[in-house]
Structure 1
Amino acid sequence: MATIHKQITQWRDGLLAPNQNDVLLTLIPEKNAISIADFYKEEGIFSIEESAFLKKCLKQHQQHIKETGSPIFGIAQDKFNFEIEGKMYQMPFLLADASIKKNRFNSTFEIEQIEDFYINPLLLKVLNLKVLPENTTEAIDELQSLGLKVELENGIWAANFHPHRFVLQKELDAVLEAPQLSESLKSLFGEENENTPLEISEHFLFSADESQRVAIEKSKDNHLVIQGPPGTGKSQVIANLIGKALGGNKNALLVAEKSVALQVIYDQLKKKELHHFCVLYHHELKSKHIVRSLQNTWKYLEAIPKKHVVVGQKSELLQQSLDLTLDRLRQHDLIGGISFNAFKKGFTPNEKARYLSKKPSVLEWIKDKIILKQLENNDFPIFGGWSKLKTEQNSIHSIEEAMNKALRLLQNVSNNNLNCIELQKSIKLSGLVSLFYYNDQALPSDLFEEDSKKQKQFLKLFKELKTLTEKEELLKREEAHWNKSFSLSELQEFLAAVASTTRFSLKHWRTKNKVFKYTDLNLLEAKKALENLVELNTTRRDLINTKEKLRKLNIPEEFPVLEHIHFAISRLNSVDNNEVQSLFKMSKKERLAIKNSVSIHTEISQLLRTYFNLDEKEPIQKQIQELKEVLPQLVENSARIESISNLTKYALSKTQSLKEAEEVIYNSHWKDFKGRFPSLAEINGSDLSSKIEECITTFDKESEEFSLSIAQQIKTKFEEYHTLLQTPANKLSQEEKALKKNLRKGKSILVKAFEKKRVFPSVRELLESEAKLWIQLLHPVFLCSPYSVAKSLPIDFAFDLAVFDEASQIPLSHIVGSVQRSNRIVISGDQQQMAPQFYFQKKDHQQADALHHASFYWENSLLTHHYRSVHPRLIAFSNQYFYENKLKTFPTVNPQKPIELISTDGVFNERSNEKEARIVAEIIIEKIKNKAFDFGLVAFSQTQLNAILEKIPTKYLDQLADKDAVFIQSLENVQGDQCEHLIISLGYAKNENGDFHMRFGPLNQEQGHRRLNVLMSRAIAKITFVRSVTSDDFSISANEGVESLRKLMLFLEEENTEAESSFGDGIQQKNQQLEVSDVSKTFQSGQSVIDFYRTSVSRGWKVGFII
């Protein structure tokens, strides 16, 4: 934490570090400031004649507000001139923020003081003082009393004093003075901390592509950096994040230096009627405006009807269904071992074709079919009996041996026409016959007759015998306690003595002593043991009697034999009664013959299972003999035959031709698939399109419901506050009473403010009062610049979510206060855009931008779908050289030629190129004549830009004054603008002597290459590039900016000679239709299909799917 404090202190000191160029250190009239009055006017309004200096001030002031959200213009009252250690200072004494506007009617500048004067902080810094009197005379007297000779110069001066730095200084002071640094701020500086999940809504205000959803999902659990290249929908992500925060009863802060970035999000939320709950505070928000904004939201909440809004979740279920469909279509072995798409390409279902439960996979069949055709060409009878051989697992040689062995075994079988079915019946019968024997000894057959008298007697005796045996085993354990065996009479005598309660019986006493000589048990245990021994004796006597009864029935008494008989009875009683009866009708000799044949039958069956796939109904011997006859052909083609699967051979045995076999195999697999996935089997391209359209329309409906639910949610809380105000104190808890007190006071403050006509409380005053609760309810979303946050938001005014947009342009120190106030941070920007500029700061006080710093400590998420350019070629240069070709593009129908390259022979003379300037001026004049106010003009230098503008008559330039869609900039000032048609003039060229010096101004400086990325990512529909040199005029340069320009020249020349497809694999363009041939391969998720479909349709395409 000490390290963080040290860093913040360094930044704070850097804001006040003296710099000789700083107007607050050395104010030189007519050079860096202009005198506007000799004495101060109480009304603080000054009307000054037009001057070049004020014109320059106004331009810089407006540009700084546009780029950073911070006003830099102000006025100063009185100037102190003094010398310290031989160095002269001419420092303004009092400063105040002021506005400056040009009066178009009388050519004057209107300057108005908008805040109170404060002492120049740099003056206090130089003099090493904490305070001075704000009265000029008193301040002079105090300084002179300290020994400083001060010369006073009265007057009012105007200049770009950059007073915003002192606002930021106070912000950093507030962070340093905070009781503790927030977990978010610690994390920003690399300290580990545990993040609490951000509980936000699962719903969306706007559609979100796959990469946007990934970023939003990540932000729930951790602070996040969103890397958003140009045109990738950062504003969509931010609007969705804010909407989700509102849906989760959270508040949010959006910070951006440019007002346009805040306005974009405000306009997005306005589409959903959620702007009522936002305050847009860029650089100048008068108290009157925020009070009116709060009043309007108050009235809005009172006016909207109360509704119960249920936000559906069907779109999520539909998308999951689409994902499942794509996963199935993507499954490589979905139908017969191949994918859905591959199967449909090779087969058209025929419902009349036969079905086989056993069949080869499609891949097996394709492989085997090639071999079968080769065999057929060799006159091999592929539909002959050879298919009954299992050549896949066995060699032809081993099959031949199996044939001979089977034929030998069959000679010992009485039935020459024995087939496979009869063989299995015989084996089964042999199994039943074996039940009549135990160790080859025949058992009485009448035992096995169901419900016979003898069987019933046996079952009864077996049950008794089993029970007695188990009881004997249990009681036998008692014998271990005795070292002698006893007769029954002894046991009874011992038991009587032990059980006796007679106190004076000599006989019993002697008997007891005798008992305890044979055991170590105590009296109680001995008694129980003797009782068990008596019971054991009885059990053994019963066992003898039971076995005697079995012998009388002519049944062996050995327990294993008895268990076999019991099992045999159970088995025979469970099989078909006719089969059992046939066994009883046989003589002993017949049963014995069947029993003895089982080994031969089993061995034959094993051979058949291993080597053959015989017809079950045909005689085995006959089939094997026929196979033996074709053995020579099998040997000749053994290598091919052995590689054919048994399932293929089975299919051949059921068909008459390869065509029929293929149809049967494919159709059988199709029927299996259709049974498992009936809806998927019926799907076609039109069905898939309908599914996607349903996903989109359902999502859009739910997003509208979501926005309505947010408004209702806020209205509910608004009504709850009013209900609390009307609830008697005796019905409230202490906590509710305290809340009621604050709400009543806060409402009173707001109502008074609503009634005012002038002199409104400041934003900070309102936020530090009890009105804070109402403001947080009415305006849970603040859209601010770093300057407006620092200026008006108390350091303890907390946010659940803070989002920083275009953070590559925000110095790290400018976000510290906002991060301190917030629980979850999302930083959005593009590292390939320009970094922030630092005014009046020495190099050792300069710092990294917020995006670059945060990307080292927090997880990064890249947005990859580029929506701005209607043709991929417009973003191709940036995509290739800055974004590693990770951007996905979405072309429009019939776009115009995206890049127009105009090469001329202009000469670079006196820092401009007149010929290029004329060409560009003519293009712009033509566009103005056609009322095409959709362009941007960029020249690589301000001088070239001026040369172009000088060639455009004033009557045309005046028409551009109020056209927001038009921008005219030099390369160094291009940032964040976009246009339909971008017109570029390189300007730089060979001089009159034919020399090309390759000095390109800002392009040669640090970050110069990024200027080209910014430039080449501004166009929506067309780029016109005017140049007077080619890539051949460049030499390879170590300067990154110059080398990037050479590559741009190569790229532009390539555009004129090469045509390239706008679509990836799997997507074909046919007129105004896009056909996706394999949707599961082309897209990896349902969301990516939806993104493609939604965007393509919005750009004029009809999208079809081929399934």
Structure 2
Amino acid sequence: MTNDEKNETVERKIQYLFNENMNMFREEGISSFALGYPILVKQNNKTKSVMKSPLFIWKLDIKRSKTDMNEFIISREENSEVEINKVLLIQLLSDDKISLSDVYSDEIEENEKSVLTFEEIKKIIEKINEKLKIDFSEEFKLEKFPEKAEEIDKKGIEKPFIFYGGILGLFKRQNEGIIQDFNDLRENFNKFKFNVSDRDDFQMTNKNSSVSTDPSQQNVVETLTNTQYKIIQGPPGTGKSQTLTAIITNALENGANILVVCEKKTALDVIYEKLAELGLGDLTAMLNDPAADRKAIVKRVRDLEEKFPKTEQYDEQKYEYTVNSYKDLKNKYNEHQNLLKKPLKSDDSSSINDTAIKYLEGKNYSDYYYVDTTKNDINSIYKILDRIDNLLSKIGNISNIQKFENIYNEKLGQISSYEIFFSETSDTLENLKKLISIVEQNLEKYGDEFKNSYGANKLKVSVFSIFNAKIREIKNAWNGIYSDSQKVRNYNGKYINKRFSEHDYGVYLKELKEFSDMLNEIINNRKEFISFIDENKNDSISKEDEAFINNFIKYSEEKGINDKPEFLTTSYYYSLLQNSDLKNQRYKDFGINIPKLIENDKYITENQRYRIKKYWNDIRKRALSNMGTGENIKMLYNLRKNAKYGKINTLREIVATNVNFFKDMFPIIMTDPNTCSAVFPLQEGIFDLVVFDEASQLKLEEVLPSMMRGKYKIVSGDIHQMPPSNYFGTETEQTGLTENKEIDEETLFLSDSESLLDYVNNLKDDVIMSYLDFHYRSKHPKLINFSNAAFYESRLVPMPEKKEYIPIEYFKVDGIYKARKNDDEADKIVEYIFGEKVLIDGKLPSVGIVTLNLEQKNNIVNKINNYLRKNDNEETKNRYNQLLENNMFVKNLENVQGDERDIMLLSTTFGKSEEGKFIQNFGPLNNQDKGYKLLNVLITRAKYRFSVFTSIPDENINSWENEVIKNGNNGRGIFYAYLAYAKAVSENDREAESRILEVLSGDKMKNTNILYEKIEDTDKKIIEIIKNEIKVGENDEIVKNYKIGGFTLEYAVKDKNEEKAKILIDLNSVNNFSGNTAYKSIIYRKNMFENMGYEYKLLDMASYI
């Protein structure tokens, strides 16, 4: 290897250490870059391999020069820590049964700053020699490593020795605290119950918090102490940190202390920042490193003793009153919503809520037909409607039914033969026509005198006919008419029994004509009338139903009702609601109490922090007083050795002396699993609440001791995200597999991949899962819609976009896949981040780059460094430095969980080989059980835009549907589906986009691109209500099922020429407002929609019944 090649290799290694150290520091808050010096070389007694391990780890800092991109600066602060290699201690104890802990502690604990001199190191080595018999030099020097490692191994086999060479590397945190806890567990196993049965329900006072919560987050708070274990199932971007902050503030007000445990300091920082914004940061102890954090903790306690801060004042009485008022208002509202869930009748599955909605969505009638709901249910209503419908279809119209009904009811028994009946009807009709004709002829001939001679004037006609020939002719004419009408009277008496007027000619003539029309209709509807009779003969309808039908038909005819089925069903719902409890037990003064509820919620959220501060400051004062004089505190919390303590007390010793005092000073402890074990005594239930964040990434064996320390255990994570294994990295990427070999995916998920989340999720007793349903991270719903459809059963509710833009970019690169890398994709990504496309509104966002294997990740890092070397100008330097300031990272798929950036870039890496072959070997993504979890984590990291650079052939991507149908939403099928989705969104192909979401969700996500529905029937009652309650302009229209992000509003008012609504309308139904946090849904929706610039109106259904 030439010197240039050697230098290039060293440069790549330094670049790698710089990038990895930067990523680790962002996540864990601790720099891992250090020098291991000197090196103990020793043969392992069991395996016979040669161990080369540093005795001490010297903390260093590594930075990239901002002026010269090819220059890295490695430095060490004067007081930087020197750590003992505790991994070496454990190895020696295990292999040689030699304990060297006293050797280290004797020297280091004497040194306040933990900075060793070479003389002190020499003394430690001499003491090690007494136990281990090693070969070492008394002269300190920096030895060069030999060209061949075998030279060191050979000497180490002969005898253990100290090699004075140094190793630059990343020395991750050591879990000596956890190891010690397990040693204690093993030695005192029978003393531990592994279950805290004695748990106080500290939530007896209230269930409020100091931060705004959505209904699903509030549900977590309100059910916090229902069980010993609670799982917070929080998909990406659903506000887990906000939920945990709400839990913490609620617990604080209720007097509980909290232990928050997470492996990643970045997650703890987010929660701490939220607490600090509330002014509660001083109640929190953030512990990352027991040695490094000790001084700050000691100083804070001493400062509290010397000068206790003033407590901010607030109106305690008003706060108490508001809390009680709030509790009363929300309980009454929740009771009202529970009433809406009740069935209207014991034998009816329909709820008050559903019935009210059906009634309001019915047509708007001025009056309704009363239905006796004690005798009729919806089935009998449907039966009556069927009967009316059958009659109408056979007879034609309602008037026919009424006429036929009269004949049928009175004289059915007389009709022995249809032929005789219709023959007599026909003869009578002819006779009627003749009568009417004669009457009209005489009327024309004699005029009013003929008319006045009818009925009551018979005596006058009889008398005056003697003297007047004209009257005599009129009398004879009427006698003829009476004689000819005998046949009509006979028919009438036999079948119809109609009474004719005997006093008024005009009425009589009108009745004759009506009678004629009726008979004519019977003749013309002979077939229909026979069907009517058969219908009545064959249908065993009750008298009550028959009377109901007749009365309803009569009523609807009088009211001019055309749509009788709709009118009858709406009338039925109306009658049901009138007889329900809704009227008497409704949430009275809705328009007054709901604004008051919202006002109380805001007041408590803003003022709870003051209540918390006062409560805990009082606790602290008592604790400080109980410790006695200030000298007692300073002796324990010492900055240097004193008369009582001959050395500086470690943080563990301070806490162990009086753990309750420490918890009173800091009721919130935020730490990682190892620091927790290193600082706090292993005592079950010493904290009221222990909270685990990112629990899917926590190994059970590392957090079990922390979990034992809590009474209530809150486990926050996502069952659809990655377990804490490293199967994507060294286990698969460094195996040296050839391109035509498949990875043995069964080896990817070993027993050590089980997480705390998996463990608690499999518990059957005393555990409950609460779901977070609202997605906040993505600035556009399309960034989360895929995961929502594929993995979360479409239950996530994303926030709406604030502006229209394309949130997913798809770049078809078609690069060659060679040596597990894709240079073309790497080049395109480098070009992208140093170009203009990366900008958002002219500003440089935060950027994350992810690859599907380690080689491509390193390839992109090298490409970036090569670009910096070739473009050594101010513009490039400024862009790169700004990217770093915005926390740009380059990671492989396994390490991206928990990160989020404005823009995420994905290199799918795989493509055709130089020979044109495409091997569908995507490593762990192919895993049929858990491969989808990696994809889910990857595609949900972007806040603003996700950009895909791919070389995977279209023919493979297009096979997504067959793969998904065959294997479900997993493996390469779901990977291909996402690429197809990304392409559809990028090209604004809404049809393809909707199709993918429908297939993945099992048709749960349909019509995602339809903004609203037009209302065809504008005569609905609800429309009239909206017009009465809201000012609807002439150019406005009311639409239904209006979508905003993942929300759907029943109704909205919009300008006819605009797509966006002006006014959003919710019905106070259990569809939107239900459960123990129904009240919170109102507050949440109103605040959110109004903050978006909409006018929001909530209509109380009960007010319109």
Q: Note if contact 2:39-2:55 (Cα within 8 Å) is conserved in structure 1.
A: yes
Amino acid of the residue matched to residue 952 of structure 2? Answer: V
Whether 1:1027 aligns to 2:950 is yes
Q: How far does the alpha carbon of each residue in 1:45-81 deviate from its partner, in whole angstroms, 9 at most, with x for none? A: xxxx997656544544454455566765463435244
Question: Could you tell me how far apart the structure 1 residues matched to 2:639 and 2:289 are?
Answer: 26
Structure 1 residues 370 and 223: alpha-carbon distance in aligned structure 2, compared to 1, 3 A threshold? closer
Residue of structure 2 in register with 1:137 after alignment:
126
Structure 1 residues 78 and 872: alpha-carbon distance in aligned structure 2, compared to 1, 3 A threshold? closer
Deviation at 1:1063, TM superposition (A): 5.0
Deviation at 1:1099, TM superposition (A): 4.9
Residue of structure 2 in register with 1:789 after alignment:
676
Residue of structure 1 in register with 2:907 after alignment:
985
Question: Could you tell me how far apart the structure 2 residues matched to 1:387 and 1:324 are?
Answer: 52
Residue of structure 2 in register with 1:202 after alignment:
207
Q: For residues 266-665 of structure 1, what are the structure 2 equivalents within 5 Å?
A: 266-283=272-289, 285-294=292-301, 302-307=309-314, 309=316, 310-311=319-320, 312-326=323-337, 333=344, 339-348=355-364, 350=366, 368=384, 374=391, 377=396, 380=399, 638=536, 639=539, 644=545, 646-647=547-548, 649=550, 657-659=558-560
Residue of structure 2 in register with 1:877 after alignment:
786
Whether 1:110 aligns to 2:75 is yes
Q: For residues 1-400 of structure 1, what are the structure 2 equivalents within 5 Å?
A: 56-57=16-17, 59-64=19-24, 66-67=26-27, 72=32, 73=34, 75-77=36-38, 79-81=40-42, 84=45, 87=48, 89-92=50-53, 94-96=55-57, 98-102=59-63, 104=65, 107-111=72-76, 113-115=80-82, 117=84, 120-121=88-89, 122-131=91-100, 135-144=124-133, 150-155=159-164, 157-158=166-167, 159-162=169-172, 164-177=174-187, 182-183=192-193, 185-186=194-195, 197-199=201-203, 201-220=206-225, 221-283=227-289, 285-294=292-301, 302-307=309-314, 309=316, 310-311=319-320, 312-326=323-337, 333=344, 339-348=355-364, 350=366, 368=384, 374=391, 377=396, 380=399
Structure 1 residues 718 and 90: alpha-carbon distance in aligned structure 2, compared to 1, 3 A threshold? closer
Q: How far does the alpha carbon of each residue in 1:490-509 deviate from its partner, in whole angstroms, 9 at most, with x for none? A: xxxxxxxxxxxxxxxxxxxx
User: Aligned to 2:836, what secondary structure does the other structure show?
Assistant: helix
Deviation at 1:697, TM superposition (A): 3.8
Structure 1 residues 707 and 1023: alpha-carbon distance in aligned structure 2, compared to 1, 3 A threshold? same
Aligned residue among 625, 643, 651 for 1:763: 651
Amino acid of the residue matched to residue 791 of structure 2? Answer: F
Q: Note if contact 1:870-1:1021 (Cα within 8 Å) is conserved in structure 2.
A: yes
Residue of structure 1 in register with 2:460 after alignment:
none
Question: Could you tell me how far apart the structure 2 residues matched to 1:1077 and 1:849 are?
Answer: 42
Structure 1 residues 692 and 753: alpha-carbon distance in aligned structure 2, compared to 1, 3 A threshold? farther
**Number of matched pairs:** 801
Structure 1 residues 1030 and 250: alpha-carbon distance in aligned structure 2, compared to 1, 3 A threshold? same
Identical positions, percent: 20
Amino acid of the residue matched to residue 926 of structure 1? Answer: E
Deviation at 1:945, TM superposition (A): 2.4
Question: Could you tell me how far apart the structure 1 residues matched to 2:411 and 2:885 are?
Answer: 87
Deviation at 1:327, TM superposition (A): 5.1
Deviation at 1:698, TM superposition (A): 2.6
Structure 1 residues 173 and 388: alpha-carbon distance in aligned structure 2, compared to 1, 3 A threshold? farther
Larger radius of gyration: 1
Structure 1 residues 340 and 893: alpha-carbon distance in aligned structure 2, compared to 1, 3 A threshold? farther
Question: Could you tell me how far apart the structure 1 residues matched to 2:266 and 2:295 are?
Answer: 22
Residue of structure 1 in register with 2:758 after alignment:
852
Question: Could you tell me how far apart the structure 1 residues matched to 2:580 and 2:699 are?
Answer: 63
Q: Note if contact 1:945-1:970 (Cα within 8 Å) is conserved in structure 2.
A: no
User: Aligned to 1:794, what secondary structure does the other structure show?
Assistant: coil
Amino acid of the residue matched to residue 40 of structure 2? Answer: K
Residue of structure 2 in register with 1:903 after alignment:
812
Deviation at 1:267, TM superposition (A): 1.5
Whether 1:713 aligns to 2:615 is yes
Aligned residue among 993, 1007, 1010 for 2:933: 1010
Structure 1 residues 85 and 979: alpha-carbon distance in aligned structure 2, compared to 1, 3 A threshold? closer
Deviation at 1:260, TM superposition (A): 0.9
Structure 1 residues 115 and 85: alpha-carbon distance in aligned structure 2, compared to 1, 3 A threshold? closer
Structure 1 residues 1072 and 935: alpha-carbon distance in aligned structure 2, compared to 1, 3 A threshold? farther
Deviation at 1:140, TM superposition (A): 2.8
Whether 1:780 aligns to 2:692 is no
Question: Could you tell me how far apart the structure 2 residues matched to 1:705 and 1:247 are?
Answer: 11
Aligned residue among 1052, 1062, 1072 for 1:1083: 1072
Whether 1:1045 aligns to 2:1054 is no
Deviation at 1:712, TM superposition (A): 1.2
Residue of structure 2 in register with 1:1072 after alignment:
1060
Q: Note if contact 1:175-1:820 (Cα within 8 Å) is conserved in structure 2.
A: no
Residue of structure 2 in register with 1:190 after alignment:
none
User: Aligned to 1:339, what secondary structure does the other structure show?
Assistant: helix
Deviates more, 1:962-971 or 1:335-344: 335-344
Question: Could you tell me how far apart the structure 2 residues matched to 1:336 and 1:212 are?
Answer: 27
Q: Note if contact 2:207-2:221 (Cα within 8 Å) is conserved in structure 1.
A: no
Q: Normalising by the residue count of structure 2, what TM-score does the alignment of the two structures yield?
A: 0.62
Q: Note if contact 1:383-1:657 (Cα within 8 Å) is conserved in structure 2.
A: no
Structure 1 residues 91 and 654: alpha-carbon distance in aligned structure 2, compared to 1, 3 A threshold? closer
Deviation at 1:902, TM superposition (A): 2.5
Q: How far does the alpha carbon of each residue in 1:839-894 deviate from its partner, in whole angstroms, 9 at most, with x for none? A: 99999994522211222124433333322224332123322333333333332354
Structure 1 residues 387 and 753: alpha-carbon distance in aligned structure 2, compared to 1, 3 A threshold? farther
Residue of structure 1 in register with 2:432 after alignment:
none
Question: Could you tell me how far apart the structure 2 residues matched to 1:774 and 1:690 are?
Answer: 47
Residue of structure 2 in register with 1:488 after alignment:
none
User: Aligned to 1:817, what secondary structure does the other structure show?
Assistant: helix
Structure 2 unaligned segments of length 5 or more: list them: 105-123, 136-155, 417-517, 523-528, 732-746, 995-1007, 1010-1044
Amino acid of the residue matched to residue 204 of structure 1? Answer: S
Residue of structure 2 in register with 1:939 after alignment:
851
User: Aligned to 1:907, what secondary structure does the other structure show?
Assistant: coil
Residue of structure 2 in register with 1:506 after alignment:
none
Residue of structure 2 in register with 1:811 after alignment:
699
Question: Could you tell me how far apart the structure 2 residues matched to 1:1075 and 1:755 are?
Answer: 70
Structure 1 residues 700 and 786: alpha-carbon distance in aligned structure 2, compared to 1, 3 A threshold? same
Question: Could you tell me how far apart the structure 2 residues matched to 1:69 and 1:130 are?
Answer: 31
Deviation at 1:707, TM superposition (A): 2.0
Residue of structure 2 in register with 1:566 after alignment:
none
Question: Could you tell me how far apart the structure 1 residues matched to 2:655 and 2:374 are?
Answer: 78
Structure 1 residues 137 and 1078: alpha-carbon distance in aligned structure 2, compared to 1, 3 A threshold? closer
Deviation at 1:1014, TM superposition (A): 0.9
User: Aligned to 2:213, what secondary structure does the other structure show?
Assistant: coil
RMSD: 5.2
Structure 1 residues 808 and 74: alpha-carbon distance in aligned structure 2, compared to 1, 3 A threshold? farther
Deviation at 1:253, TM superposition (A): 0.5
Question: Could you tell me how far apart the structure 2 residues matched to 1:336 and 1:77 are?
Answer: 78
Q: Note if contact 2:723-2:753 (Cα within 8 Å) is conserved in structure 1.
A: no
User: Aligned to 2:944, what secondary structure does the other structure show?
Assistant: strand
Deviation at 1:773, TM superposition (A): 4.5
Question: Could you tell me how far apart the structure 2 residues matched to 1:71 and 1:395 are?
Answer: 104
Deviation at 1:923, TM superposition (A): 3.5
Question: Could you tell me how far apart the structure 1 residues matched to 2:993 and 2:970 are?
Answer: 26
Q: Note if contact 1:336-1:669 (Cα within 8 Å) is conserved in structure 2.
A: no
User: Aligned to 1:250, what secondary structure does the other structure show?
Assistant: coil
Structure 1 unaligned segments of length 5 or more: list them: 1-29, 35-48, 188-192, 401-628, 726-738
